[in-house]
Copies of this chain bind each other. A is one copy, B any other.
Amino acid sequence: MRQHGMLELAVLGLLKERAMHGYELRKQLGTMLGPFWQVSWGSLYPALRRLAKAGAIDKDEQPVPKRPAKRVLAKTSKTSKTSKATSGRRKTVYKITPYGDRMFTEMLEETAAAVDAEHFTLKLAFFRYLPPETRLTLLERRRAYLQDKLAQFKANVREYKERVDSYTLSLHNHGIAATQNDIEWIDELITNERNLVKPAARTEAGALPIE
Binding site for B on A (CB under 8 A): 31-32, 34-36, 121, 124-125, 127-128, 149, 152-153, 156, 159-160, 164-168, 170-172, 174-175, 177-178, 181-182, 185, 188-189, 192
Copies of this chain, count: 2
- B34 and A153 contact, CB distance less than 8 A: yes
Give the distance in Å from the alpha carbon of A178 to the alpha carbon of B178 in the complex: 7
| Complex contact A34–B178 (CB within 8 A) | no
Tell me which of A125, A167, A172, A181 has the highest count of chain B C-beta atoms within 10 A of its own C-beta.
A167
Q: List 18 A-B contacts (CB under 8 A).
A: A31-B160, A32-B164, A34-B156, A34-B175, A35-B152, A35-B153, A35-B156, A36-B149, A121-B171, A124-B168, A124-B170, A124-B171, A125-B167, A125-B171, A167-B189, A170-B185, A170-B189, A178-B181
